Chain A
Amino acid sequence: MASFLSLHTAISNLVHDGDTVALEGFTHLIPFAAGHEIIRQGRRDLTLIRMTPDLIYDQMIGSGCARKLVFSWGGNPGVGSLYRLRDAVERDWPNPLEIEEHSHAAMANAYAAGAEGMPSAFFRGYRGTGLPGVNANIRFVACPFTGEPLACVPAHRPDVAIIHAQRADRQGNVLLEGIVGVQKEAVLAARRSLVTVEEVVDDLDARSPNAIVLPSWTATAIALVPGGAHPSYAHGYYSRDNAFYVAWDEIARERESFAGWMRQHVLEQGPEVFGERAGLRR
């Protein structure tokens, strides 16, 4: 059964130096508060998996948490570059960053294979491109029935998956809805998992028996963090802070402005500020 913990305790118990960690959420429900707590607790040498690194991994990479990044699209959506990711890859700052680069289809398939308990995933992809030449984890096998060459990648099996969801009930069952990304797969693929939620309720109020519900025995810990996805969003609670995504371009461009922003808004703050940040925009 999932334990209800404070975010501080949950990160302290679940995330260790050197772990392979996946913070997921496809544009929607990105667990920013949990990422900030990892930064505050000074975790190092993490292998970070995420389809779209987004601002949260830009912040974690720029803060020196990561040794390696496994990803498929590393930009600021609709805005441009992730400058902290680029600084790490182009100039080894604040430390060298190993990258393992995939396509979205490969990443989605690798999470699904992890959830299935399979060692690897097969799909129709990558053919004729330069990616297999720079990533030894992209290989091809022939379909035993048709002979078609199929791309093959290892399953994702993170030590820890971290997601944000709309709500949990008091038993620790979790509901997420809207753009649901790969979060269910990430939790089921991981050895341990943390779900931060907007609220804890008596009844999940799932409108359909087919809503995405993670039973309490699939997550390790749940932490209540209202607004914990800001500047990403929580469908039904608050919308995406597109203006902040645009503003990040300027903040992250230089090391000094980035460090100053992180000190003021992350290192010297706690998870309780997220409610107000998201609430301002409700």
Chain B
Amino acid sequence: MNHTATEMMTIAAARALCNNDVCFVGIGLPSAACNLARATHAPGLTLIYESGTIEAKPAVLPLSIGDGELCETALTTVSVPEMFRYWLQGGRITLGFLGGAQVDRYGNLNSTVIGDYRKPKVRLPGAGGATEIAICCGRIFITMSHNPRAMVKKLDFLTTLGHGPTGQERKKLGIATAGPVLLVTDLGTMQPDPETNEFVVTALHPGVTRDAVRENTGWRVRFADAIGETAPPSAGELEALRELNARTARAHGGTAA
């Protein structure tokens, strides 16, 4: 079966999720990957959305972080202060799943501005939950569309701490959680070098060349010694993802005026 680059990216991210993870889920690709994982190899994956919904089991992907679907299918729903204080800061969440407008080689993220903060070229939405998700979750996955505007040498603004501007800041600041351990793009997957914490390419998606990765990365990207090829999507994975997307389109289109 043919597949798109976005499908490959979603499926690659879904495969990295474990059945026993407790995952703080962002809207968009992270939510698609988490619910695909739940529909395929990780039915026990626990999803927590920052609106306060714990063990949400949505049948369709929510458009917003607080769609009724999440609350209706959740085991329980708590207030937003409780979510951030007891559950996130309390250390109950094993995995945070983030995106952003820009990422650098150390997994630091910008979702605040493009250009100068006081006179931005583009005002982006801002931090949301990400700043504390990155500090408090056990480890972090990042997904990002692979292009030079997103994979940058220097962030316009540091909204969310990865491994810090030199790769060593988490340790210096005494932050005990692991930070970003996986970066999944539409070209491949990257993981931090164990010494420097610089993200290096560890696998290429089918048909993607090293040159394509170099051209689409804003820094001099490095490749791991042993570099793999991502297994192409299985028929089962593709069917599950497409069914999820079709159900979602029907549900959201159904409320049209």
Contact = CB atoms under 8 A, between A and B. Distances in A.
A26 interface: yes
A78 B65 CA distance: 8
A92 to B, nearest CB: 10
Nearest to A180: B79
B159 interface: yes
A74 B125 CA distance: 4
A241 interface: yes
Given A72-B126, A129-B131, A180-B52, A105 B89 contact: yes
22 contacts: A28-B51, A72-B126, A72-B127, A73-B125, A73-B129, A78-B27, A78-B63, A81-B125, A82-B125, A90-B120, A101-B127, A108-B80, A108-B85, A109-B84, A112-B85, A129-B127, A130-B157, A179-B53, A179-B77, A180-B77, A240-B255, A243-B256
Nearest to A88: B123
Contacts of A179: 51-53, 66, 70-71, 77
Contacts of B70: 179
A185 B124 CA distance: 27
A250 interface: no
Interface in A41-64: 51-52
Given A104-B50, A134-B117, A27 B129 contact: no
A124 B89 contact: yes
A90 B71 contact: no
Contacts of B173: 127-128
B81 A185 contact: yes
Contacts of A124: 89, 132, 135-136
A182 B255 CA distance: 27
Interface of B: 27-28, 50-53, 62-68, 70-71, 77, 79-81, 83-85, 88-89, 112, 117, 120-132, 135-136, 157-161, 164, 169-170, 173-175, 252-253, 255-257
A128 B164 contact: yes
**What class of interface size applies to chain A in its complex with B?**
35 or more
Given A108-B84, A128-B169, A26 B131 contact: no
Interface of A: 26-28, 51-52, 71-75, 77-79, 81-82, 85-86, 89-90, 101-105, 108-109, 111-112, 123-131, 134, 148, 178-182, 184-185, 212, 233, 235, 239-247, 280-281
B67 A27 contact: yes
Nearest to A78: B63
Nearest to B68: A239
B71 A28 contact: yes
B67 A89 contact: no
B71 A129 contact: no
- 10 tightest A-B contacts by CB? A27-B66, A75-B125, A77-B64, A73-B128, A128-B161, A78-B63, A243-B256, A105-B132, A103-B131, A108-B81
